[in-house]
Homo-oligomer: A and B are copies of this chain.
């Protein structure tokens, strides 16, 4: 049994990792920690875990934790993970970081996250954990930069077309709609029920910090600079991201050919499902699962892609465990639906 720990166990993402791991046959949870007033069983914080996972949640101490685990999940805010990762890496422990700290170049990081990166050396060691695209690299990685929720939904939908260089790269639009848990578990008037329910808004229009992450990966897949216009929206639901993506096609593409392209691209990838002609994914088809569902429409000279994920699973905790499974040589689907 691998020993697994989670730092940042009291967020929504931490809760989901715990729930997945509680049914995972190859590991045991040996460490949970988070910024807390007092150390207590995690089931006091998440009563749904009562009787299922009653491990004590401690205050964070990387030195202590590194001796208790083989693999550590950092379910921490941006700017905090880079304080913890080096200790585990030096101790030769595997790290899956769910923050943005190892996803961008140091320069881009400074621009988008507003501070100088504190662990630049490890950025180039990090493998971007978009499991379907970088599975081979993940197998040998010691540090995973687990993708952001929006980039997962946008990049998986665009990757096959982009790699075919089939789209006009200057006219790609990703209009994404997310449930509220994507904003984290914290007191904030803007996230309160009275403000969010019966409401909807666009925010950080083409200025969201996931934009450079999307463009970095797409540019790499395309082999040339790619710039998506990206608008995230907040929707009154707990979970799920639906991205509607619009591209201009460089040349005529039949729907049948497009569907084949996608099905081939994701062949052998158990968590991507391509919908048949005339069918499109809905949030409810993926909530509670690690799937990314994709539907395709060709209309005029444009292609409209619709992708759905559970932001806390394929967009965070589920993909993190999927990456752990790949890194550790477990079945890729172990513990996941």
Counting from the closest, the 5 A-B pairs by CB-CB distance are A199-B284, A201-B282, A187-B187, A193-B196, A47-B285
For A244, give its contact among B197, B202, B273 (CB under 8 Å).
B202
B197 touches A236 (CB 8 A): yes
Question: A206 on the interface (CB 8 Å rule)?
Answer: yes
Shortest A128–chain B CB gap in Å is 25
Across-interface contacts of A288 in B (CB, < 8 A): 48, 288
Q: State A329–B246 Cα separation when bound (angstroms).
A: 45
Question: A215 on the interface (CB 8 Å rule)?
Answer: no
Question: A316 on the interface (CB 8 Å rule)?
Answer: no
Question: A115 on the interface (CB 8 Å rule)?
Answer: no
Digitize A178-216: 1 where CB-to-B-CB distance is under 8 Å, 0 elsewhere.
Answer: 011100011111011111111111110111000000000
Question: A114 on the interface (CB 8 Å rule)?
Answer: no
A 98-124 contacts with B by CB, 8 A: none
Stretch in contact with the other chain, from A71-79, A83-91, A131-139, A299-307: A299-307
A233 touches B177 (CB 8 A): yes
26 A-B pairs with CB atoms under 8 Å apart are: A12-B194, A48-B287, A48-B288, A48-B289, A173-B246, A175-B175, A177-B233, A177-B235, A185-B192, A186-B189, A187-B187, A188-B192, A193-B196, A193-B238, A194-B238, A198-B238, A199-B240, A199-B287, A201-B280, A202-B242, A202-B306, A205-B304, A233-B242, A233-B244, A236-B236, A288-B288
Shortest A16–chain B CB gap in Å is 11
Question: A158 on the interface (CB 8 Å rule)?
Answer: no
Across-interface contacts of A191 in B (CB, < 8 A): 192-194
Shortest A298–chain B CB gap in Å is 10
Question: A55 on the interface (CB 8 Å rule)?
Answer: no
Given contacts A177-B177, A202-B306, A273-B50, contact A236 B238 (CB under 8 A): no
B48 touches A199 (CB 8 A): no
Question: A337 on the interface (CB 8 Å rule)?
Answer: yes
Shortest A140–chain B CB gap in Å is 28
Q: State A173–B171 Cα separation when bound (angstroms).
A: 11
Across-interface contacts of A82 in B (CB, < 8 A): none
For A236, give its contact among B193, B201, B244 (CB under 8 Å).
B193
Shortest A25–chain B CB gap in Å is 11
Question: A223 on the interface (CB 8 Å rule)?
Answer: no
Given contacts A188-B192, A198-B238, A240-B200, contact A51 B171 (CB under 8 A): no
Across-interface contacts of A23 in B (CB, < 8 A): 337
Question: A231 on the interface (CB 8 Å rule)?
Answer: yes
Digitize A269-289: 1 where CB-to-B-CB distance is under 8 Å, 0 elsewhere.
Answer: 010010100011111111111
For A302, give its contact among B12, B189, B207, B229 (CB under 8 Å).
B229
Across-interface contacts of A206 in B (CB, < 8 A): 297, 299-300, 304
